[in-house]
Structure 1
Amino acid sequence: MARSPDLKTLLSWLGRKLSPRTGEPLDMAPGLEGVLSWRVARIRQDTMAMAWLVLRMVMDPPGPERTAIIQRLVQVFAVEPTPAVRRAMPAEIVDLLDSPEPDVRYLAAVLADARERPAAIPGLLRGLRDPDWMVRSKCLHALRSASIPPDALVPLLRSERRQEREMALSLCGLPIPELLRRELWRLLEDPEVSVRQRAAVMLGEDPEAPGLWAVLFDMACTGKGHVRRAYAIRLMGRLGLRAEALPVLLEALRSDEEELVRKETAEVLAVLAPGVPEVADALVAALKDDWDEVGVASAQALASRGATTETVIPGLLAALADGMLSERTRGQVALTLAALGVGEAVPELLRQLTLPGPVLQEKERDPHQGEDLRGASNLQFKFDVMRALAELGAPARVALPALVAKAREGGLDMLELRLEAARALVLLGTAPAEVRSLLQDLPLACEPGKKLLAQYGISSG
């Protein structure tokens, strides 16, 4: 940094050596004082001006001018630079990662493109131990886009400082290399809870990891943030539930404040629902959860037959008829009852199918606000009801007249609903030719129409 660069050297590094019109060297006409007087927003819009200032910072000797350049660049790069700006920076920016000046190290971390310039990776890794937290933060950010050799992370994973171990964990890409996998196993016994839990998240479903299930269980109970707790519950289920987890999971399903945690819990408990009455009862109660996703997951979890099936059927039938529940939940309840082969559900399914609803009514709109006054019923619920009837087979044949009516009515506007009714008719034994006659007003004779009929299982022959 003992000399100022001559103009030609600067512009050569900028990739703009000569004017295409005159062949003369280009110049930053305003000069240093002029560029520094520009508003920060204007400098950010001028890639050449930014690169020129960085080059001056690289090559100028210490002094008031260089200090002013550094201060202005810190302001300019308070906003993340684009990849194009990073590419315009000189290779010498990598050397500044070891500068004795914190602001210069900060700028180097901001501008070093670790993906395009792997030579920056060692300096950025050293920067994770920088005493300045802003430098550490920018080094970590820059490294996230880099392909870091696994052995380069080992010293950080073994660091005595919790923060460095956590940063190294966040840089472990998937799939985890065997070298790092062993390091993560060791971190499952780390004295810091946050490190143990981060290691568990990175290991995922590793069945060989010693102590992983215990860390996940602790995370499900005490993890910071509902997303992490929900993830831990999911992984516990995939690794295999243990007896000590059951009380915690049942309590989470009943009363956890976070919807995602309740949903994941319902899904995980599905494996126990057919044989554990306490679980089955809790899932039936969860059908009334305020969040649709929890109700749907609970209904899905009850869809396998087992020792508890007969005890949950009354609750499922009641839920199907409960107009206070969401149609999404009731639709899944209908499918669950069909999967369990509950013929007693047919009368209620038929009632739901034939109820006059706004889905088949002409919408009324407020001419001033353009909003639906009646709203629209969830078509998916109608689909689910018809699919449930089709799956139930012989007991559902009493619904054939209603399905015929649904296949006929509504014109082209109700194409999907009519086709779903037609599919149910075929599955319940109605001849395809007879079913196609119900759809003769629809434009299905063309090639796309034939493909659509085939998609719904209605032969077009």
Structure 2
Amino acid sequence: MAEREPGEGGLRSLAEGAGGNGRAPSPAPGEVEAYEQDWYRSLKALAERARELEEVEPSEGQPAAGRGDEAEHPPVEAADEAAHPPAERVDEDEGAPDRASARSEEAEPAADVPPQGSIAEVPTQSSIAEVATQGIAEVPTQGSIAEVPTQGSIAEVPTQGIAEVAPAGTAEPAPGEPEPGALVEPAAPTAPAGTPAPAVQAPPPASLTSPDAAERRAALEALAVRGVSDADLGRVAALVVDPDPDVRRLSLEILAPRAADVSLGVIRQGLQDPADEVRAAAVRLAAARPVPPAEIAPLIAARRSPLAQAAALAALPPLVRDAGGVDDDALDALLRSAADLLPPLSEDERTALAELGRLLGPRRLTEALAHDDARRLGALRLLVAEGSPEALAAAAALHDDPDEAVRAVAATARDRLAEPEPPRSPAVGARDLVETVAAELAGPDAAARQRARERLRALDRAAVVEWAREALRGDDLHRAGLAAALAEAADLVEVAHDLIERALGLQAESRQPFLRALQALASARSGELEGVLGRLAPERRPEAVRLLWEAAGPSAMPLLRSALVDPTPAVRIAVLEVLRGTGEPEAVEAATTALGADSAPAVREAAVRLLADAPLARRIECLERALLDPDPGVRAAAVELLPAGGGREAAGPLLRALSDPDQAVRRAAARHVASLPDEDLPLVWSALLTASPEHREQVVAVLERTAPDRLARLAIERVAAPEPEQRLLAVGLLARAGTPEAVGAAIQALQDVRSEVRRAAAAALASLRSPEAVPALGRSLGDPDPEVRREAVRALGVIDDEAVLGLLVTALKDPDPEVRRTASEVLTEWSSPAVAKRLAEVLEHPELRGQARELLVKMGPSAVELLVDVLLQASPAVRPEIGDLLERIAGRERFVERLSSLDPDQRLRALQALAAIGGADLVPALLRALSDPDERVRILAADLLGETGDASALEPLRRTFLSDPVPEVVRAAERALARLRPRG
């Protein structure tokens, strides 16, 4: 029968699940925020319900009604738990001797704590309603605590985390009751009749359950001072899922002295916490308990959680050693974690892997090399870290493995096997002497440094190398600096690799001692350093190349020469980059070789960048070669960088590059072609003449943007060329140049004998938009070629000049319908008052009236006011035309509405428009206007009524004649009556 651990209640089941054997999953970021509000809401609701239960508890001495029935028929939840007891837990007998004492304590208040991990995986065999069934017969099992609101994730919150203690005197559960290890205690055994039920105690006002995180932290700190009792253990353990990370960390740290009493589930909950410091505390608690090594093995590779990783690296080797070995599952976990530790390893990682390798043993690790997944790589790393000849030999055997990572580690093992066996560590006295000499070498006293050099010659070199290597690999930067001074003075080529590794991990300001040592080694023993880069991890070699050049400059060339054949392209690129601009003859040769033979396009491109500083002849030679490169990036870089200052020598390759299939190459070539000096302008013209339109456009665009005067000069010199195709191209370039000289040349081209050239000249002038061209374009309206006339109309349409309008109106009479249509389109697009007014005036000419009407209608509302202006001065013959246009464009109603305007001028214009439009409603409108407050409106209304001939106006006109106070109005009424009377 599973036993309950003292003071922890159901927390073990909370973390372990039904079986108690599954490790907690990795935490998902941010999950701890999901239960902040619900955690407190549930806790508060449980406490309030407990107080309600206490209030309804029967008084002492009064038997509880229905107790026997409830004992005979336990609640549904409790019965279900009794029928399906939880599976056996890990360490189920742990703490058994304390069971009776634990059950004699009063039950702690329930703390409804949701887990931080995957809530869906947590078993929920008991509901919160069961809390109320502990020894309280009167409490219903439904509608009480079970009704606590469970918003959000609280609906899934189990009650396993509630720390409880069984009632005193309960040693074994009664038949049919849940086991004591269940998450919530079942109802107490039936008491004899008349026995009062034990009172339900309200939660004590302990600050561990405060909703204020600061109070909970203060309570934990107080517990840390006085120690965690059995009664406190469960409540502290419950805080491993507190929303506040500091509370969770403190709870785990405070549990450390009671580690043996902490369940594996609590530790697992901490190990999967999202906060790094909490996980680190859980690792330390796990090591103190202790737990199986597999529980913390994944954390040795958790570099994103540096605190947890450091704790795991320190704790795991002792756990493995104390456990006397590991089973296959734990070994698999260790191997996978070791595989996840990508190089370069930190000192702590190397130390931990070496210790684990020794504990696991070469034989077992060699057997693990048979795996075909990440475990093989992990076993390989542990073998190399273990470092014995047997382990290194087993690792080196995988030098031809298909996995690149495996081959890299195997290569490291082979290199270490090839090294001579290190001598035994020097005696303590010798080590102290070496350190003393190193300190003197790095000191400020020149005489002391000289004496140290003399003493250094008497020391055993193996002892010096051993001390220097140990110091360079250690954590003490000062000792590492002393080792660098020692290596500089004694030419310790044996520690060159360690010097590079140490310098790579430092900021620039801390590298100087190591750079000086490397410079000394490269100057004195460069031939012995050629293999040192190969011992570094591939990803560290590019930076090492730059470091060596910074340290030794040209003295590092033997090292860099060997790096030019490194299998990693980034290393070869780094070599070419550090050589760029050095002026070293060997650098140009190396780049030339790389451009022609390297398999990586990025390396060939880096070679091009280096060759940009080479002599011109070499650059042109390499440009020719690079244009044949299959990679467009290499070709583009070559065309961009190599022709600079090449002039005529570079023209040939550049002209070919203009036809390259890659746009970047063509653009680079166009920039260089456009920048050729003035004496090479014929080459530019030749390139433009022979290039395709697309490629030509790229060169012209560069010239247009950077040197429009050169573009104009190039075109003007050939606008009179004997070949029509050259003249045609030249005229097109004039449009792009945009200079005053280009305008004059284009005007001249309007007289060319070839119509296509004249047409191109008119189009060029449309782009240039110079008023200077208006007269010449006007003359082109008489060109025999209608296409030339059309282009001239288009050009005139975009030039802002007063003379243009008359020419466009003239074009409306062109015999070619396409020319007339073009003129109409241009005039319509203008839609300016000047155009509308001119068109309205054109209505006086019968031969243009039709086209003018059409254009005015197309212009729409913008022509209305101009038509009214013309109407005021138009002849009687044109007034009906204007009235018809006004009705078509604006409509009669618009002017009727204007008669109500407050502006008398608007009312006057409306009367004129209505008179021109005519119609049956004209007379009523004019009669209303006879009473207008403005005398001008009344005069116009009287005159217009006289013109209508309508007899219905006689009586209103007589009244106006007799009553209007303004003499001018009276005379207008008299004139109107005179016109109407004969008809009357």
Which category of TM-score, normalised to the shorter sequence, fits these structures? 0.3 to 0.5
Task: Look at both structures and tell me which one has the larger radius of gyration over its CA atoms.
Answer: 2
TM-score scaled by length of structure 2: 0.25
